[in-house]
Amino acid sequence: MSIFKNIMSWVWPILIGLLLAFFVKTFLFSPANVVGNSMAPNLQAGERVVMLKAAKIRRNSIIIFNAYGVDTQEPNVTPKTKYIKRIIGLPGDKIEYQNNGKLYVNNKLVSQSYITKKQQSSGTLTLSTALSPASGVTLGTNKSFTVPKGKYFVLGDNRKISNDSRYYGFVPKAKILGVVKAFIWNKHHKLINSFNSN
């Protein structure tokens, strides 16, 4: 009996630790890798970040979402493909992206100081010829669109190369896996973790 007790004295802590780790990874947060350069220079390809699964999704939050069924133009998307992008519009938001690169959300000018002026203008407004523009997304002065209920409008920070809502449209809330937070040694961490557009 004492042998059984001795075995269980170290088995139980291991089991409890594994259960706690499973709970944390499943419901609270998990590590993630940045794939690609669509969020450069604020996030680099291969960079490690933390994904908070229960965090509130706000405008300018960086999110990870499952791209399967969202991006139907990219043939290599599988059920495991994940994209990382910045939330520009929340459900119900009215978006106007003017020819000069200024962004208005609900008729209010919104800062995009997390990217260069060139990315704000030509980087955003010059669309790739390799992809078709999304229906329901209209860019340019005096053009506006409304983000549908339960969906989000997302863009990559590296607008020139980013495959985002300009091409595949709005991201359903059900596809969003969590909100990204960068580690403090990333010199752009404030632009990722707590950027305030006001």
What amino acid positions are annotated as catalytic residues?
Answer: 38, 85
Q: Collapsing DSSP states into helix, strand and coil, what is residue 27?
A: helix
**Residue-wise burial string across 173-187, b where 16 or more C-beta atoms lie within 10 A, e elsewhere:** eebbbbbbbbeeebe
Q: What is the CA radius of gyration of the chain?
A: 20
Q: Kindly list the distances between the CA atom of residue 145 and the CA atoms of 57, 91, 101, 127, in Å, as whole numbers in the listed order.
A: 20, 11, 16, 17
β-sheet bridge partners, residue 96? 104
Provide the residue count of the chain.
198
Compute the CA torsion angle 44, 45, 48, 50 (nearest 10 deg).
80
Q: Take residue 50 and report the two structure tokens written for it.
A: 């933390």
**φ/ψ (deg, to 5) at 63:** -120, 160
| Among 120, 124, 103, 121, residue whose Cα is nearest residue 197 | 103
